[in-house]
Amino acid sequence: MRRHWFAFLLLLLIAGNAFANQKKFRSRDLIQWQHHNVHFPERYLGTKFADVNAVWAPQTIFDPSVGKLMVYFSLHSEKEGPFPKDAVYYAYANDDFSDFTSAPQSLFVYPNPTIDTDIVQDAKGVYHLFFNTWGGPDGLQRRQYEFTDMHDQASWTLIPGHQQPTSLNSEGSTAYQLINGDWMLGYDCFKDGVYQICKISGFRTYELVHETKTEGNFTPRHGSIIQITDAEYERLLSSW
**Averaged confidence pLDDT in the chain:** 87
Smallest Cα–Cα separation from 19: which of 45, 35, 43, 39? Answer: 39
Enumerate residues 6+ apart whose C-beta is below 8 A from 128. 119, 120, 121, 122, 144, 145, 146, 175, 203
CA-CA distance, 114 to 69, in Å (whole number)? 22
Order the strands of the 194-201 sheet from edge to edge: 171-177, 183-189, 194-201, 205-213
The confidence band for 7, taking pLDDT boundaries of 50, 70 and 90, is: low
Q: Which residues of 176-195 are buried (b: 16+ CB within 10 A; e: fewer)?
A: bbeeeeebbbbbbbbeeebb
Q: Is 0.85 surpassed by the pTM of this model?
A: yes
Percentage of residues in the chain with pLDDT exceeding 70? Answer: 90
pLDDT of 33 > 70? The answer is yes
Q: Which tens digits make up the pLDDT trace of 52-109?
A: 988 888 889 999 999 999 999 999 999 999 999 999 999 999 988 888 999 999 999 9
Q: Which of 9-23, 97-111, 150-164, 188-202 has the lowest mean pLDDT?
A: 9-23
**pLDDT greater than 70 at residue 18:** no
pLDDT digits (tens, 9 = 90+) for 145-161: 999 999 999 999 999 98
Which CATH fold would you assign to the domain 116-240?
Tachylectin-2; Chain A (2.115.10)
